[in-house]
Structure 1
Amino acid sequence: MRFDGVFDQLNRCNEANTGENKNMVNGNTERLLDPNQKNEDDLKHRIWDELKKLWVIGAPSILARVSSFGIIVVTQAFMGHIGELELASFSLVQTTNMRFVDGILYGLGSVIPTLCGQAFGAGQYHMMGIYLQQSWIILLTVSIFLVPVFIFTTPILRLLGETEELSNYAGKLSPWFIPVLYYHILGISTQMYLQAQLKIMVVGWITAISFVINLILSWIMVDKLNWGVPGAMGAMTVSVCLILFTVFIYVFGGWCKDSWRGFSKSALNELWPVVKLSISSGIMLCFEIWNSAVLILLVGYMKNAKVAVSAFSICLSIIAWVYMISTGFSGAASVRVANELGKGDGMAAKFSIKINLSISLTVGVIFSILALVFSETISYAFTSSTEVAKEVSGLSVLLALIILLNSIQPVFSGVAIGAGWQSLVASVNLFCNYVIGFPLAIFLGYVFHLQVKGVWIGMISGLAAQTVVLAYITWRTDWDAQVDKTMARLSRWILPSS
């Protein structure tokens, strides 16, 4: 009886301890399954995961764009140290002829991120090579009408009212840009094709190496051999051709075996829908890229045109350097949005846009501050003229503001390309830049006699309006409906794999 009582007491203690342990486990489980904590952990994981995806695309894309543009800037810098006339002429060709051509080529070629990105997300890899070939057909056909722009530069600039001296010298320089034209036709579209399938790292390294080679060749040919303008332009030509040939070797050499299966007659099938989307893309980006060309022409009519054009072109070069970073985020936005829409996940596309905008805006704030502090110092990298450097310094506040806006707007353009909104955004760009921006630039620059500053203010007003409208369109978009539209497009255009 005594042992029975002890056993009964032990059983009661064990039951009590078991109950306490259950309560402790349940309490811990409740704490572990706290919805707020779980949601917070999920959000952190999603943000980190999206950041990695964006930087995998964005970082090599930024490296490629900065290095590619750096080749032009290095050439411009060497031209500036050769002489003011050489710098102004190079800047005029770069910001008129090349901007005009780039607007068309980049616009028509931007159909590649839309189609290839969505096909990659849907797992239809074989269509990516066909889309690339269709883009080449369109771009090479258009190039027939673009080459004369570089042959007849002098009469074109005379017709536009530029000075005789600038027009004549620019006409001598412009044929050197024809290899750059074909690099943009074939090389840039191929880079977009590689970016859509997350193989942009190789392009980043290729262009970075070519940039270094260009810097060395320019130093040897201009400073050491004293070849002057032919030396600077020859170094640029060698560098862009090197990028083009190396990218072709990568694509044709078997490193893209899933997406590149050789040249195919299928590229001629369903070509018209691609042409229509390419035209919409062309109109969309033409209005963006042509802005600086129109502005440089406006500045060219002002008093002391040499200094005004040189200072304005230096500011545009500084903006373009930062813009290359922003377009890296733009490329990442187009790929991520296109991939997620191709997969059928509209909410993932929307989440990616938010993260991308946060990063790009942060970068823009940093570079805006740097522009305010170091604008005059940076200008001496492009010119030896104190007068030009002071003119650049006087534009530093406006320069910083436009850098900030340019950190946001390209992301929205990338979203538009990824989603296939080219026609809509083309209308927005046309209205904001050519109805608001340029008329205001002319009014402030010439009527109010604010000169270069007035042109800048008009440019900023158009860009700000464009950014606000695109932000509103993106915010109001039904991303589930965008998934349906993407699936409908893919079902119409996808060809069977051979």
Structure 2
Amino acid sequence: MATTALRRYGSQLKKMWEIAGPAMITEISQFSIALVTSAFVGHIGPLQLAAASIVLNVLEEFALGFMLGIGSASETLSGQAVGAEKLYMLGIYMQRSWLLSIATALLLTPIYVLASPIFHTLLGQEKQISELAGRFAVWMVPQLFFFALNFPMQKFLQAQSRVWVLAGISSAVLSVHVLLNWVFVSKLGYGIIGAAVVGDVSWFLLVVAQVVYMVWGSFDSWTGFSTKAFSSFPAFAKLSLASAVLSWLAFLGLFLFEYS
């Protein structure tokens, strides 16, 4: 009896890690994009590191909390669609999530544009740091829209157990990100603005790679863009916003803990 239970436990544990392992690699790789940026900017100087850190650790995390929450709202619905064998709904849910995420990115854009006075006036940062952070944030605006496309696609692929593909794409992009930072920031000396642009390029590559795989990966769940994405949109938006608020509250708790 005990041996049989252990075998079942081992079998279930193996299945869990077959999903969880690649998912962890994906999350760590994508999180490390900002970490690598900070590491290369840190070699430029303390002022540049301070400016980049406040953008990456406060502003970007704030945006990521909302974006991840919006993108994750389709996760439950996608699981239900897979269980009901209505795979075509996965593409519909992803498109709805795209629409809402892009709208969220548009709403967050002014915060990036006005980052300098926000950091200086509201957070009490030094004027020199705030001004440089504001310039860095403006150049990072494209990443908001790549976040908006990335997270819904990520949930779309995860719902169909294409986790190793996600892990491979994310790891490859992280490697390219390191290389681009080494070339443009360390060797060519494009500075903190160069680091921001490299981040934009890396997230762009991540999104493009997933789109190419989704379109050419023989998915029954992707049949192209559909007007069905607009149906039942208010209910989907309500679910997504609730998820976004929960994610943001988790970020806020972590932020207060780190900076208290």
Short-chain TM bin: over 0.9
Any gaps of 5 or more consecutive residues in structure 2? Answer: none
Tell me the distance in 2 between the aligned counterparts of 1:257 and 1:225: 42
Tell me the distance in 1 between the aligned counterparts of 2:130 and 2:221: 46
Q: Per-residue deviation at 1:223?
A: 2.2
Identify the residue that residue 73 of structure 1 maps to in structure 2: 35
Q: Per-residue deviation at 1:44?
A: 2.2
Tell me the distance in 2 between the aligned counterparts of 1:147 and 1:242: 21
Contact 2:94 2:153 in 1 (8 A): yes
Q: Is structure 2 residue 168 aligned with structure 1 residue 205?
A: yes
Tell me the distance in 1 between the aligned counterparts of 2:69 and 2:97: 11
Identify the residue that residue 251 of structure 2 maps to in structure 1: 289
Q: Alignment partner of 1:239: what SS?
A: helix
Q: Is structure 2 residue 75 aligned with structure 1 residue 113?
A: yes
Contact 1:96 1:294 in 2 (8 A): no
Identify the residue that residue 168 of structure 1 maps to in structure 2: 131
Q: Alignment partner of 1:145: what SS?
A: helix
Give TM-score, length-normalised by structure 2. 0.93
Contact 1:99 1:293 in 2 (8 A): no
Which amino acid in the other structure matches residue 200 of structure 1?
V
Q: Is structure 2 residue 24 aligned with structure 1 residue 54?
A: no
Q: Per-residue deviation at 1:78?
A: 0.8
Tell me the distance in 2 between the aligned counterparts of 1:97 and 1:295: 16
Residues 4-403 of structure 1 aligned to structure 2 (within 5 Å):
37=1, 40-160=2-122, 161-253=124-216, 255-294=217-256, 299=259
Tell me the distance in 2 between the aligned counterparts of 1:276 and 1:42: 45
Which amino acid in the other structure matches residue 106 of structure 2?
I
Superposed CA deviations along residues 443-470 of structure 1, whole A, max 9, x for unmatched, are: xxxxxxxxxxxx3xxxxxxxxxxxxxxx
Structure number with greater CO (CA < 8 Å, separation at least 6) is 2
Q: Per-residue deviation at 1:183?
A: 1.6
Give TM-score, length-normalised by structure 1. 0.50
Contact 1:67 1:208 in 2 (8 A): yes
What number of residue pairs does the alignment pair up? 259
Question: Identity across aligned pairs (percent)?
Answer: 33
Contact 1:102 1:289 in 2 (8 A): no
Identify the residue that residue 426 of structure 1 maps to in structure 2: none
Contact 2:52 2:192 in 1 (8 A): no
Tell me the distance in 1 between the aligned counterparts of 2:229 and 2:82: 17
Bigger mean CA deviation after superposition, 277-286 or 117-126: 117-126
Q: Per-residue deviation at 1:49?
A: 2.4
RMSD between aligned residues: 1.7
Contact 1:99 1:290 in 2 (8 A): no
Any gaps of 5 or more consecutive residues in structure 1? Answer: 1-36, 300-454, 456-498
Tell me the distance in 1 between the aligned counterparts of 2:118 and 2:218: 42
Q: Alignment partner of 1:110: what SS?
A: helix
Superposed CA deviations along residues 321-340 of structure 1, whole A, max 9, x for unmatched, are: xxxxxxxxxxxxxxxxxxxx
Q: 1:218 to 1:157 in 2, by over 3 A?
A: same
Larger radius of gyration: 1
Q: Alignment partner of 1:261: what SS?
A: coil
Tell me the distance in 1 between the aligned counterparts of 2:232 and 2:4: 43
